[in-house]
Amino acid sequence: MNTLLTQVPPLHDVPVHPAARQLLDRVAAAPAEPLRLAVVAPGGYGKSVLLAALDRCYREAGVDAVLVDDADRLGPDQLEELLAGAEGPIVVAHRPAPVAPGWTLLQLGPLGVEDIARLMAAVTGSPADAEAAADLHARSGGVPRLAERALRGRLEEFRPELDELDDAVLRYLIAAEAGAGRNLDLLSALLDRGPDQLPAVVDGARATGLLAPDDTLLPLAAAAVRDFGPPARRLTTVQRLVELQLANGLPVLDLARSLLGTGSSGASAAAAFAAAAGEALSSDARLAARLFEAAAEAGDRSPSATAGWARAAALSGDLDTALRLGDSMLGAEDAETRAAGAAIAATVLAHRGELARSAELYHWASRTADLPATSWAGADAFAAIALVGTGDLPGARQLLETPSPGVAPTLFAGAATRMAGGIADSVSGCATETLSTLLGAAAMLEPALGGTLLPDSPAALAALAALHTGELALAESVLTRALEGRTGGDLLATRHRLLLGWVAMTAGDLATAAEHRDAVAGRPLEARDELFFATLDLGLARRASDLVGLQRSWNRAYQASMRYQTDLFSLLPLGELAIAAARTGAFAKLAPQLERAHGLLSRLGEPPLWTVSLVWHELHAAITLEDAEAAKAHLATLTTHAHCGRHPRALATAAQCWLAVLSGTFAPDPIAAAAAELHDLDLRWDAARLAGQAAIRTSDRKAMVQLLEAARQFQGTAARRDQGTAEPAAGTGLAALSERELEVARLVVEGLTYKQAGSKLFISGKTVEHHMARIRGKLGAADRRELLATLRELLSRPDAP
Contact between 305 and 321 (Cβ < 8 Å)? no
CB atoms within 10 A of CB 60: 10
Query: For residue 416, which of 450, 361, 457 has the smallest C-alpha distance?
Result: 457
pTM: 0.70
Secondary structure in 3-state letters for 157-169: HHHHHHHCCCHHH
pLDDT average, residue stretch 550-574: 94
pLDDT, tens digit (0-9, with 9 covering 90-100), for 387-421: 999 999 999 999 888 876 656 667 777 888 899 99
Domains identified in the chain and CATH numbers:
18-109 (3.40.50.300), 115-153 (no CATH), 157-317 (no CATH), 736-796 (1.10.10.10)
- 578 by Cβ neighbours in 10 Å (0-12 / 13-18 / 19+) ranks as buried
pLDDT above 80 for 560? yes
Mean pLDDT, range 94-109, rounded to an integer: 88
Maximum average pLDDT range among 425-434, 445-454, 700-709: 425-434
Average pLDDT over residues 351-365: 90
Mean model confidence pLDDT for the chain: 86
For 18-28, what is each residue's pLDDT tens digit?
A: 888 899 999 99
Confidence of residue 558 (pLDDT cuts 50, 70, 90): very high
pLDDT value at residue 377: 62
* pLDDT confidence of residue 796: 74
Q: What is the structure's pLDDT at 534?
A: 97
Coil, helix or strand at residue 92: strand
Are the beta carbons of 93 and 39 closer than 8 angstroms?
yes
Residue that wins the pLDDT comparison between 701 and 605: 605
Of the candidate ranges 144-148, 447-451, 549-553, the one whose mean pLDDT is the lowest: 447-451
Residue 723's pLDDT band (boundaries 50, 70, 90)?
A: very low
The per-residue pLDDT for 447 is 61
Q: Is a pLDDT exceeding 50 seen at residue 8?
A: no
Q: Quick one: pLDDT band at residue 51, thresholds 50, 70, 90?
A: very high
Average pLDDT on 485-505 reads 91
Q: How confident is the model at residue 639 (pLDDT cuts 50, 70, 90)?
A: very high
Overall average pLDDT of the 788-799 stretch = 75
pLDDT bucket at 1, cuts 50 / 70 / 90: very low
pLDDT in tens, 509-541: 999 999 999 999 988 899 999 999 999 999 999
Q: Which DSSP string do the residues of 400-450 spell out, in sequence order?
A: HHSPPTT----HHHHHHHHHHHHHHHTTSTT-TTHHHHHHHHHHHHGGG-T
More confident residue, 310 or 548: 310
- Give the chain's length: 801
Residue 102: pLDDT over 80: yes
- For every residue of 320-365, DSSP letters joined together read HHHHHHHHHHTT-SSHHHHHHHHHHHHHHHHHTT-HHHHHHHHHHH
**Given this model, what pLDDT does residue 782 score?**
65
Query: What confidence score (pLDDT) does residue 728 get?
Result: 35
What is the rounded CA–CA span in Å between residue 396 and residue 387?
Answer: 6
Judge whether residue 13 has pLDDT over 60: no
What phi, psi does 751 have (nearest 5°)? 105, 5
Residue 375, pLDDT > 50, answer no
**Average of per-residue pLDDT across 318-330:** 92
As a whole number of angstroms, the distance between CA 312 and CA 332 comes to 20
Look at residue 733 in the predicted model and tell me its pLDDT: 67
Q: What pLDDT band is residue 448 in, cutting at 50, 70 and 90? A: low
206 or 784, higher pLDDT: 206
Q: Distance between CA atoms of 258 and 571, rounded to whole angstroms?
A: 47
CB 675 within 8 A of CB 688: yes
pLDDT higher than threshold 70 for residue 727: no
Encode 581-607: b = buried (16+ Cβ within 10 Å), e = exposed: bbbbeebeebeebbeebbebbeebebb
Give the model's pLDDT for residue 256: 87
Cα–Cα distance measured from residue 488 to residue 416, given in angstroms and rounded to the nearest whole number? 13
Q: Is the pLDDT of residue 4 over 50?
A: no
* Statement: residue 305 has pLDDT above 80: yes
536, 508, 544: which is closest to 715 by C-alpha?
508
Percent of the chain at pLDDT above 70? 92
Least confident residue range of 314-328, 330-344, 769-783: 769-783
Q: How confident is the model at residue 262 (pLDDT cuts 50, 70, 90)?
A: confident
Which pLDDT value is given to residue 374?
A: 47
Whether 718 shows a pLDDT value over 70: the answer reads no
- Taking residues 53-81, what's their average pLDDT? 87
* pLDDT over threshold 90, residue 147: yes
Determine the pLDDT at residue 15: 57
Least reliable range by pLDDT among 235-244, 264-273, 691-700:
691-700
- Confirm if 39 and 51 have CB atoms less than 8 A apart: yes
